[in-house]
């Protein structure tokens, strides 16, 4: 079996020789060019598995070569060589389609790591567990899946925009699983859920005894994601002082744990997301423009559910199957009128809201068929709930994101059900009658609360 082949473009003979030796020791056949003209001749006559190019060449810009390769051989991974600290050029190259970048003076271990990742990209799968969960066959979803497939092979930072509940984390996981870092950790963090005073420790770690309560060394999120992907969800919620520290960590590819005397090198791919308008926040001065520029090398938008209504019937079928399977019950039919209502509904909460609506309808329906009355979309659509009942609280949770409300209601529901089951000596049919719900509804609630461990 022939060796894999690499093309090096650099006008400095010493750099070319260093790269040739390093890649040859990795069992690669290497061709070298001193300028763009020679490089294009090689590209026209040979097939390559990786290309490394300097950005400043005698007869042109390395960026032009990146664009040329993207048009003629888009599957060929290109890594660019930049002057130390010249992140702007590196970002422009990745926007143009470069796989990654390496800075001068060249760090050989980092270079070997980059080359190995690039070569493995050609062997990556086309689907993954997460990408299979992105349901739908509308033009918007087909385009989204193609974009995921393409950007997964790059190392460029990606900013994922989209409304709440649209599936931004699922897209991020798909990018990770389809990329060369799939075997390394995927670490997701909700930036808005970390208390401000603990944020630096969570991201960068700390040394034992640095502050009260630091009883042992702690790895930060960057170190936990080493070799893999760090997904910054709701990145717009980061305070400005933390944005500065995050920017430095991304630029220097290193972090300093609190109390540590030196920085620790890191190797992570950064994916970020938010449902807010980051560009607007930048214009308002609430988000740093330089950090936005670093995070937004490639931007992807996850479409809202109301913009791809043709996918809703497939989503209904899949979600109902999942709900019924979890409860070990038959999947109910859905009345045509109910399906039409679901197709017409605007879904401010997107797929997450559709799933909640179907879960509720599943528990309420009789005769194994979901009707439009079971959907109770009137309650879901109310901007200001009027009654303080369980559904109202559920709506409050969906719109205001108070997770504790949901937890509290689940605990109350569990207590009521357990008390009723005790009174009926765990006769579920009798308990359902006392609670005023169908047997199906009770079975579903028991399964959801982890109480369905016995049968009548």
Q: For residue 4, count other CB atoms closer than 10 A to its CB.
A: 16
* Domain CATH for 46: 3.40.50.2300
Q: Which pLDDT score, from 0 to 100, does residue 2 have?
A: 75
Q: What is the spatial order of strands in the sheet that 4-9 belongs to?
A: 28-33, 4-9, 50-54, 78-82, 100-103
* Domain CATH for 372: 1.10.8.60
Q: Tell me which DSSP letter residue 258 carries.
A: B
Q: Which pLDDT score, from 0 to 100, does residue 117 have?
A: 86
Number of domains in the chain: 3
Range of the domain at 328: 305-381
* Domain CATH for 211: 3.40.50.300
Closest CA to 298 of 271, 275, 280: 271
Q: Express each pLDDT in 37-48 by its tens digit.
A: 999 999 999 999
Question: Is the domain of 18 the same as that of 73?
Answer: yes
Question: Is the domain of 255 the same as that of 330?
Answer: no
Question: Is the domain of 66 the same as that of 215?
Answer: no
Question: Is the domain of 293 the same as that of 367?
Answer: no
Q: Express each pLDDT in 419-455 by its tens digit.
A: 888 888 778 888 887 887 777 778 777 877 777 655 5
Q: Which pLDDT score, from 0 to 100, does residue 24 have?
A: 95
Q: Which pLDDT score, from 0 to 100, does residue 417 have?
A: 85
SS3 14: helix
Q: Which pLDDT score, from 0 to 100, does residue 30 have?
A: 96
Are 175 and 297 in contact by the 8 Å Cβ rule? The answer is: no
Question: Is the domain of 174 the same as that of 281?
Answer: yes
| Residues 418, 410: Cα–Cα separation, whole Å | 12
Q: Which residues are bridge partners to 264 per DSSP?
A: 255
Residues of the chain with pLDDT under 70: 1, 84-85, 122, 378-407, 452-456
Q: Which pLDDT score, from 0 to 100, does residue 364 have?
A: 82
Q: Which pLDDT score, from 0 to 100, does residue 118 have?
A: 87
User: Which residue is associated with the tokens 């796989």?
Assistant: 99
pTM: 0.77
| Residues 150, 142: Cα–Cα separation, whole Å | 13
Q: Which pLDDT score, from 0 to 100, does residue 390 have?
A: 36
* CB-based burial label for 259 (10 Å; 0-12, 13-18, 19+): middle
Q: How many residues does the chain have?
A: 456
Q: Express each pLDDT in 307-364 by its tens digit.
A: 999 999 999 999 999 998 888 888 999 999 999 999 999 999 999 999 999 998 998 8
| Residues 324, 306: Cα–Cα separation, whole Å | 25
| Residues 182, 430: Cα–Cα separation, whole Å | 50
């Amino acid at each position: 079996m022939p060796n894999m082949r690499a093309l090096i473009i650099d006008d400095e003979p010493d750099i070319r020789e260093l790269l040739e030796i390093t890649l040859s020791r990795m069992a690669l056949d290497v061709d070298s060019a001193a300028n763009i003209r020679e490089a294009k001749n090689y590209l026209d006559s040979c097939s390559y598995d990786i290309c490394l190019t300097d950005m400043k060449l005698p007869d042109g810009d390395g960026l032009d070569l990146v664009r040329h390769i993207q048009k003629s051989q888009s599957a060929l991974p290109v890594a660019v060589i930049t002057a130390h600290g010249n992140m702007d050029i590196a970002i422009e190259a990745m926007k143009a389609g470069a796989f990654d970048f390496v800075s001068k003076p060249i760090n050989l271990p980092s270079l070997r790591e980059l080359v190995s990742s690039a070569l493995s990209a050609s062997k990556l799968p086309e689907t993954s567990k997460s990408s299979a969960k992105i349901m739908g066959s509308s033009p918007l979803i087909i385009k989204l899946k193609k974009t995921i497939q393409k950007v997964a092979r790059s190392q460029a930072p990606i900013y994922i925009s989209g409304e709440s509940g649209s599936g931004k984390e699922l897209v991020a996981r798909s990018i990770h699983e389809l990329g060369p870092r799939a075997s390394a950790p995927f670490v997701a963090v909700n930036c808005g859920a970390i208390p401000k005073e603990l944020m630096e420790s969570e991201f960068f770690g700390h040394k034992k005894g640095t502050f009260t309560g630091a009883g042992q060394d702690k790895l930060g999120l960057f170190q936990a994601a080493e070799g893999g992907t760090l997904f910054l969800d709701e990145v717009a919620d980061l305070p400005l002082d933390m944005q500065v520290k995050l920017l430095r960590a991304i630029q220097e590819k290193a972090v300093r744990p609190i109390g540590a005397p030196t920085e620790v090198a890191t190797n992570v791919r950064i994916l970020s997301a938010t449902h807010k308008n980051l560009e607007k926040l930048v214009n308002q001065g609430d988000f740093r423009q330089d950090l936005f520029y670093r995070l937004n090398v490639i931007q992807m938008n996850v479409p809202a559910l109301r913009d791809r209504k043709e996918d809703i019937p497939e989503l209904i079928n899949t979600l109902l199957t999942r709900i019924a399977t979890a409860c070990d019950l038959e999947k109910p039919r859905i009345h045509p009128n109910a399906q039409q209502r679901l197709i017409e509904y605007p879904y401010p909460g997107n797929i997450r809201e559709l799933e909640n609506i179907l879960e509720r309808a599943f528990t309420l329906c009789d005769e194994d068929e979901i009707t439009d009355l079971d959907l109770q979309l009137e309650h879901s659509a109310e901007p200001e709930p009027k009654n303080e009942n369980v559904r109202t609280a559920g709506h409050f949770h969906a719109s205001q994101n108070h997770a504790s409300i949901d937890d509290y209601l689940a605990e109350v529901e569990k207590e009521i059900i357990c008390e009723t089951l005790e009174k009926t000596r765990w006769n579920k049919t009798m308990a359902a009658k006392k609670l005023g719900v169908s047997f199906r509804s009770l079975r579903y609630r028991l399964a959801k609360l982890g109480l369905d461990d016995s049968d009548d």
